[in-house]
Amino acid sequence: MKTKDLIAPIVALAVAAAVLLGASAALGSVAEQSETAAQNEIMGYMLPSRPASFTEEPYDGEDESIRRVFKAEDGYVIEVETAGYVGPITLWVGVTNDGQVSGVTVRDHQETFGLGRGAQTEWPFLIQFLDTAGEAAVGDGIDALTGATVTSKAVTRAVNSAAAYVTGADVSSGATEWEG
């Protein structure tokens, strides 16, 4: 094969690679914007005023379970990660400016199917946390998921931790401790 015969396919490949790279860069920003919009929509349901946008605030406090903090006009959505029975559980907790829990959603977990996995889907469990202020305890106002006490306590710990962030409660005070 002659060198001339190789030039056209090589140029075609280079052009195709450049087009794909450009499309990837353009679509990457669209995907990021779409992800941010979806995130804001979910978080909007977690505060009473249903805000459309949030500002991420840096967090450098001592509570190692708090991963990210998002601020809106009437409150916060706190991303908390806590140790469950099987592995980490990631939650978003909506907390109003006065420290009342206004929403809880489990974003990620690996808990046991049929037991701890209910922390994500059993709304009667999650609704118990609404209007609490960092003082929730399994067995003292919070009914555990049947067969999933460790998971229930982990979710409770995470919700209390988020409320403590907003109220300024001392995380060593017991508000975010294991409870057993």
Condensed to tens digits (0 to 9), the pLDDT of residues 95-118 reads 999 999 999 999 888 877 878 877
Q: Which of 74-78, 88-92, 130-134 has the lowest mean pLDDT?
A: 130-134
Tell me what pLDDT residue 132 has: 87
Position with higher pLDDT, 75 vs 13: 75
Tell me what pLDDT residue 3 has: 64
> 27 pLDDT exceeds 80?
no
How many C-beta atoms surround the C-beta of residue 84 within 10 A? 26
Q: Give me the mean pLDDT over the 65-83 stretch.
A: 93
Q: Give me the mean pLDDT over the 70-89 stretch.
A: 92
Which residue, among 111, 40, 108, 114, has the nearest Cα to 77 in the 3D structure?
Answer: 40
Tell me what pLDDT residue 177 has: 43
